[in-house]
A and B are shown apart, each in its own frame.
Chain A
Amino acid sequence: MDSPACRRQPRSAELERRLRARARRAAALRRRVAALTITLFLGFWIAIYASGAFGASTVTTAAKTTLTAATSKSRSSEEREPTSSTSATDASSESLSSKASATTAVSTRQS
């Protein structure tokens, strides 16, 4: 006849096996969550970088518009007055370069 201790033995072994299996499943789940976190992070990092939006779309666009307007203005003035003095062209290109540097400054600042 089995003593209570003998009867308890297989039960505790079974319980231990179940607990070990549960711990294995839990560890696997934790690993999966860690892998998911890293994958999501890298994915979003690349997506944000690829989108090229570094937080300054409005300001940079406005500056670029000014730059484009300045470029076309200088071009049209050159077309209208092909024999215009060099000083005027220099002044125009000077303002153009200052606006270009402003654009760069805005883009960098908004980073």
Chain B
Amino acid sequence: MIATAIGTHFYWITSRAAGTVSLVLASASVGVGLMISGRLGKSRGPELRVSHEALSLAAIAALILHAAALLGDSYFHPSIADLLVPLQMDYKEPYMAIGIVSGWAMVIFGVSYYLRERIGVARWKVIHRFTALAWILGVVHTLGEGTDAGETWFLAVIAIAVVPVVVLALARMLTSPASAATQISAR
């Protein structure tokens, strides 16, 4: 009976688990990124950079598994285009489209790190900030579409992953050079 249940729901559970892992790792990666750019990461720069890169790559791998596992789901049975093109699949829109846009943005902004020499470091830094936007869209997709969004354990996991990042982002915004310059000019 357990084997039948696992067989029937295997791809569906795999996709949901991979999606959750992707969000948790992306949250950790964004958090570490904020620490690197802020004052918190000055002393442990190289280690944080390695962690940031590894977490990002793991989040992208989990994201690919999240989408790929749906291809095997007997109920959804989506085409590759359904999973890659926003608004192609008429299921829980607009959250599905938000998830696809967020996924693409995560992959493109993540991989752009390896092309920063070509893009230009200054330009790449500007582009890289949009990763935070992709992450926000991912959170919206998770809470809006997520089958587990009503589960207490799931909401606890999301809160543990998201709240520290929000706090770090607020701290980063308040201590950014722009806000410091504003404070100085106000004096």
Contacts and interface: CB of A to CB of B under 8 A. Distances in A.
A44 B147 contact: no
Nearest to B56: A33
Interface stretch (A3-11, A46-54, A59-67, A78-86): A46-54
Interface string B1-13: 0000110110011
A48 B148 contact: yes
Contacts of A109: 75
Contact of A37 (B9, B25, B47, B150): B25
Interface residues of A, number: 25
A41 B147 contact: no
Contacts of B6: 49
Interface residues on B, range: 20 to 34
Given A37-B58, A111-B9, A48 B21 contact: no
A26 interface: yes
Chain B at the A interface: SS class: helix
B173 interface: no
B12 A41 contact: no
A111 B6 CA distance: 11
A29 B50 contact: yes
B142 interface: no
B62 A53 contact: no
B153 interface: yes
A58 to B, nearest CB: 10
B16 interface: yes
Chain A at the B interface: SS class: helix
Contact of A110 (B17, B58, B75, B151): B75
A82 B186 CA distance: 90
B12 A111 contact: yes
B24 interface: yes
Nearest to A37: B58
Given A109-B75, A111-B75, A33 B13 contact: no
26 contacts: A22-B46, A25-B47, A30-B50, A33-B55, A34-B58, A37-B62, A40-B20, A40-B21, A40-B24, A41-B21, A41-B62, A45-B13, A48-B13, A48-B16, A48-B148, A49-B5, A49-B6, A49-B9, A49-B13, A51-B148, A53-B150, A54-B9, A57-B150, A109-B75, A111-B8, A111-B75
Shortest 9 CB-CB contacts between residues of A and residues of B: A33-B54, A44-B17, A45-B17, A55-B147, A26-B50, A37-B58, A40-B21, A44-B20, A30-B54
Interface of A: 22, 25-26, 29-30, 33-34, 36-37, 40-41, 44-45, 47-49, 51, 53-55, 57, 108-111
